[in-house]
């Protein structure tokens, strides 16, 4: 039976990551990502990836990783959500790492696990698991094509590129700085998870393995979807806890606004749903960690549920804070923007429900 709670090891992971973000990702600094002079967080990522060893959580020990798994990585994602931390953990330590491992790479992943390299899988962040991946193809001149809205591309040293070959989808790696690669950072709703459009104009590349890459890309996207639920949980928990604290302290008409039933009942409902999101996210992480037969369903359920709860928690956070919730100064907007973008990542809840319908044999017609 699935263990839906947290182990002592996972609690220790949480403590170290939370401490790092508390010290080095204060909300004022994160907000600067929306302005002309954004703070550089690459040193925070380096500490998380290399010093704390979190980049290697999904990498086996014989490839230099921590030999941990999806349960621990999910805890890191929760903390990233709680701090809206602008670190490329999802794009590098999850998406690119899982795709490379699945395709049989043993070289680049060592660098990723050690934290000396950062990678990005060049698919649009809105790609759902199982979607056909198009845009780049191989040819005599190398890789050509364009992919839009790639998470973490600008921060990456290595781009992991699914590309259409003569016989099927292949997985290639290229240096971010290689000739013919153009990475154009995009202006995005959520600037804390930077996206970029990537243009390949005849780029020399190395093919990873000899097999076809559909399964590797699908595994990466499904793991991404499963773990994104934990980030959504972290967002929802921060929004919920912050709003409850505010409702206790903010007074109107001579009493705390949290004493009014109109507010209490909304917060009680939100507590119920955030709690439920915790169960769904934990189930997705646990079934993935144990390679359970239910892992695909678990990921789809978690995305179908947690994506909406994170958005609702962030929307409630803005509303129940009143005017202050609408200000640039107060960090609620960082969570709202991350939550709304996360709702689109790896497919919307509508897509995941449609996928579930196939998985559990409830066809449309």
Partner 1 sequence: MSAADLHARVRTLLNEHDPVRSDPHDFLAARFDAGLAWVHFPTGSGGLDLPRNYQSQVENELTAAGAPPGGGGARNGIGMGMAAPTIAACGTAEQQRKFLRPLFTGEHIYCQLFSEPGAGSDLAGVATRAVRDGDNWIVNGQKVWTSSAQNAQRAILVARTDPTVPKHQGLTYFVCDMTDPGVDVRPLRQITGEAEFNEVFLTDVRVPDANRLGAEGGGWKVATTTLNNERVAIGSMAGGVRETGTIGKVTEAWRSQPDIRDPAMHDELMRLWVEAEVARLTGLRLRQRLVAGQLGPEGAGLKVTFARLAQAISGFEIELHPEEGLRYDDWTMRQPDSVDFIGRGTGYRYLRAKGNSIEGGTSEILRNTIAERILGLPPEHRVDKEIAWKDLPR
Which residues contact partner 1 (rule: CB under 8 A)? Answer: 1-5, 244, 247-248, 255-256, 258-259, 261, 263-265, 267-269, 271-272, 275-280, 282-283, 301, 304-305, 350, 353-354, 356-357, 360-365
Q: Compute the half-sphere exposure of residue 55: CA atoms within 13 Å on the CB side of its CA.
A: 29
Q: How many residues does the chain have?
A: 365
The number of helices, as runs of H, and strands, as runs of E, in the chain is 11, 10
Report the nearest approach of partner 1 to the CB of residue 183 (Å): 37
- Of residues 56 and 347, the one with the C-beta less far from partner 1: 347
Report the nearest approach of partner 1 to the CB of residue 3 (Å): 7
Residue 327 structure tokens: 């200000």
- Of residues 215 and 276, the one with the C-beta less far from partner 1: 276
On whether the CB atoms of residues 114 and 52 are closer than 8 A, the answer is no
Helix (H, G, I), strand (E, B), or coil: what is residue 139? Answer: coil
- Of residues 305 and 346, the one with the C-beta less far from partner 1: 305
Report the nearest approach of partner 1 to the CB of residue 337 (Å): 25
**In sequence order, which residues have a C-beta less than 8 Å from that of residue 209 and are 6 or more positions away?**
103, 104, 105, 171
- Of residues 83 and 281, the one with the C-beta less far from partner 1: 281
- Of residues 146 and 266, the one with the C-beta less far from partner 1: 266
Residue whose structure tokens are 């007074």: 251
**In sequence order, which residues have a C-beta less than 8 Å from that of residue 254 and are 6 or more positions away?**
none
Report the nearest approach of partner 1 to the CB of residue 227 (Å): 17
Rounded distance, CA 110 to CA 116, Å?
9
Report the nearest approach of partner 1 to the CB of residue 255 (Å): 7
Helix (H, G, I), strand (E, B), or coil: what is residue 87? Answer: coil
- Of residues 100 and 281, the one with the C-beta less far from partner 1: 281
Report the nearest approach of partner 1 to the CB of residue 75 (Å): 15
């Amino acid at each position: 039976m699935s263990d839906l709670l947290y182990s002592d090891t996972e609690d220790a992971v949480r403590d170290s990551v939370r401490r790092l973000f508390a010290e080095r990702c204060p909300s004022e600094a994160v907000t600067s990502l929306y302005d002309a002079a954004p703070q550089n967080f690459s040193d925070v990522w380096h500490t998380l990836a290399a010093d704390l060893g979190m980049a290697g959580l999904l990498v086996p020990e014989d490839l230099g990783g921590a030999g941990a798994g999806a349960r621990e990585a999910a805890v890191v994602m929760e903390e990233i959500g709680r701090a809206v931390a602008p670190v490329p953990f999802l794009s590098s330590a999850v998406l690119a790492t899982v795709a490379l491992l699945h395709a049989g790479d043993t070289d680049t992943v060592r660098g990723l696990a050690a934290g000396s390299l950062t990678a990005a899988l060049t698919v649009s962040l809105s790609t759902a698991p199982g979607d056909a991946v198009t845009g780049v193809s191989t040819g005599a001149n190398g890789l050509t094509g364009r992919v839009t809205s790639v998470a973490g591309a600008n921060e990456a040293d290595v781009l992991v590129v699914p590309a259409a070959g003569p016989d099927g989808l292949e997985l290639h790696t290229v240096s971010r700085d290689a000739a013919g690669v153009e990475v154009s950072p995009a202006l995005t709703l959520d600037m804390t998870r930077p996206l970029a459009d990537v243009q390949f104009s005849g780029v020399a590349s190395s093919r990873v393995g000899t097999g076809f890459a559909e399964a590797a890309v699908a595994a990466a996207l499904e793991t991404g979807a499963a773990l994104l639920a934990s980030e959504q949980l972290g967002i929802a928990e921060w929004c919920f806890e912050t709003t409850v604290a505010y409702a206790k302290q903010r007074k109107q008409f001579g009493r705390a606004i949290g004493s009014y039933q109109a507010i209490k009942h909304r917060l009680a409902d939100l507590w119920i749903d955030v709690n439920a999101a915790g169960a769904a996210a934990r189930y997705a992480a646990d079934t993935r960690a144990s390679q359970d037969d239910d892992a695909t369903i678990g990921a789809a359920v978690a995305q179908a549920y947690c994506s909406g709860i994170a958005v609702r928690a962030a929307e409630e956070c803005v509303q129940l804070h009143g005017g202050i919730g609408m200000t640039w100064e107060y960090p609620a907007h960082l969570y709202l923007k991350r939550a709304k973008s996360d709702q689109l990542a790896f497919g919307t809840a509508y897509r995941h429900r449609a996928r579930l319908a196939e998985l559990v044999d409830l066809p449309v017609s």
